[in-house]
Structure 1
Amino acid sequence: MTPTQRQTRTVERVAYVVAAVLAASGLLHLVVLVASGTTWEGPLSYRKAMTFGLSFGLTLASVAWATSFLRVRHRTLLLGAFTAVSVVEVALVTLQVWRRVPSHFNFETGFDTAVSYSLAAGGGVIIVTVLAFAVAAWRTTDLSPSMTLALRFGLVVLFAAMVVGAVMVADGVTLARGGQAQLAYTTAGSLKLVHAVTMHAVLVVPGLAWLLRHTPERRRTKAIQAAVGVYAVLIAGAVLAS
């Protein structure tokens, strides 16, 4: 194993460990939310720390696993950046939840402003890394047709999820800066379902391809094509519902 390969394996292991910690944080906040009897709604709810922990934990593990099939230039750097930003995003959101102030679109103090802009900057880093992985999926040609389709679809849809997140943040910041903070939370929240559905295609569809790896390739490809169609319908339904 070359030094570069050892580095990559180390970053992968770190990513999986961090993903487990983030998911555990999400589960812990679910317990806190239920035990406290507080609201599930609104920007101050423990639900936000729960969903960020679980979503980032699951997404980080999915990205680390899915990209292990690809030929990605600078994968160690990209996965390391994705891991670091995942920690920062969850940590800042969790911090603000425990401070009982909104994490996003909050410009009440200098510290809150720094948090809001840090979260937005972290989102930008995530978009760049996911785009790089999606491009690598389209350049990788030595995988089976079914896994190639699954990875390309999953990563492109994940990139779309990050773009939706960026739109949510941009709209919210514009409204909050214009003195309409409450409207910012309402407007951004309208796209949560689309964001959630698109984030996890990178696990569901490639995961199905992996589970069917002992199936004849022709049948597996048809199954993945059907899964892509079903997932596309789910995305369309989420868009309409939003």
Structure 2
Amino acid sequence: MRGAWRRSRPVDRVAYKVGALLFGSGLVHLVVLVVSGTSWEGPLSYRKAMTFGLSFGLTVATLTWATSFLRMSARLRSVLLGAFTAVSVVEVALVTLQVWRGVPSHFNFETGFDTAVSMTLAMGGAVITATVLAFTGAALRPAAGLPASMIFALRFGLVVLLGALVVGALMIADGVSLARGGDPQLAYTTAGTLKPVHAVTMHAILVVPALAWLLRFTAWPERRRTLVVRLVSAAYVLVIAAVWLVFG
């Protein structure tokens, strides 16, 4: 790991540090949530700052690591990764700010400032989707030098991550429509039903490529490693489907 750190590009090191800071922010808000004794539910809970910090921190670090395997222009990857990292900071910062102000961060159009925050969060989601889409396109191109198991894992993880962003976009679209229609409480309730699916699909990019990487340290032939990765990916799809059926 020390060797990988020394070989990493400056943008990677910045992204890893930012991911650690965001993750740390999530842990801090977990402590605040427990110590304060406030509710874990609702749009005003410290849980929201916690989950955004933990999830974005983990995703920034994961995407930095996963995309280092892709064959693409170093400059293009730096631009995409830099944009993803910067927008992740904005998303977590705005959500955290609104939590501490005691107002909802999403679907909140009560004041001009709250409207600006809500729209910025939505636009940030669009930027994140664009960067992940570009990374996915790079992963789908032929890649020489990578084991077949890792190629499949990266493609699967990025495609599922795109699915997570589509779910997030649906949550935002439905929530905005309902909030603009005068029913913000229903907006929070409706969007909340998709949170479990959104969470599960967000982190396939960590689980499956990490498995493929770990399998490289076994004595198994590449054909067996690829089979294991494919079976785990199929199981992951079944988990997503089950979560969708139960909570969606």
Displaced runs of 4 or more, over 3 A: none
- Please report how far the alpha carbon of residue 219 of structure 1 lies from its aligned counterpart in structure 2 after TM superposition: 1.4
Aligned to 1:3: none
Identity %: 72
Deviations 1:3-34 (A, max 9, x none): xxx9x811100000000000000000000000
- Please report how far the alpha carbon of residue 214 of structure 1 lies from its aligned counterpart in structure 2 after TM superposition: 2.7
Distance 1:240 1:131 in 2: 26
The answer as to 2:176 corresponding to 1:168 is no
Aligned to 1:54: 54
The answer as to 2:233 corresponding to 1:231 is no
Distance 1:34 1:72 in 2: 44
- Asked whether the equivalents of residues 71 and 143 of structure 2 are also in contact (C-alpha less than 8 Å), the reply is no
Distance 1:140 1:65 in 2: 19
- Please report how far the alpha carbon of residue 239 of structure 1 lies from its aligned counterpart in structure 2 after TM superposition: 1.1
Distance 2:71 2:44 in 1: 42
Distance 2:178 2:123 in 1: 18
Aligned to 1:141: 143
SS in 2 for 1:141: coil
Distance 2:13 2:81 in 1: 11
The one-letter amino acid paired with 1:159 is: L
SS in 2 for 1:69: coil
Distance 1:78 1:238 in 2: 31
The one-letter amino acid paired with 1:217 is: E
The answer as to 2:123 corresponding to 1:117 is no
Aligned to 1:199: 202
- Asked whether the equivalents of residues 70 and 143 of structure 2 are also in contact (C-alpha less than 8 Å), the reply is no
The one-letter amino acid paired with 2:182 is: G
SS in 1 for 2:163: helix
The one-letter amino acid paired with 2:70 is: L
- Asked whether the equivalents of residues 70 and 140 of structure 1 are also in contact (C-alpha less than 8 Å), the reply is no
Distance 1:129 1:72 in 2: 13
Aligned to 1:29: 29
TM-score (norm 1): 0.96
Aligned to 2:71: 71
- Asked whether the equivalents of residues 16 and 64 of structure 2 are also in contact (C-alpha less than 8 Å), the reply is yes
Alignment gaps of 5+ in structure 1: 1-5
**Aligned counterpart for 2:98 among listed residues 96, 99, 115:** 96
Distance 1:237 1:133 in 2: 27
Aligned to 1:210: 213
TM-score (norm 2): 0.94
Deviations 1:186-236 (A, max 9, x none): 000110011000000000000000001133211111110111111010111
**Aligned counterpart for 1:87 among listed residues 86, 89, 106:** 89
Give the count of matched residue pairs: 236
The answer as to 2:223 corresponding to 1:221 is no
- Asked whether the equivalents of residues 70 and 137 of structure 1 are also in contact (C-alpha less than 8 Å), the reply is yes
SS in 1 for 2:9: helix
Deviations 1:132-165 (A, max 9, x none): 0111110142121100100000000001101110
SS in 2 for 1:14: helix
- Asked whether the equivalents of residues 43 and 103 of structure 1 are also in contact (C-alpha less than 8 Å), the reply is yes
Deviations 1:80-114 (A, max 9, x none): 00000000000000000000000000000000000
SS in 2 for 1:71: coil
SS in 1 for 2:233: helix
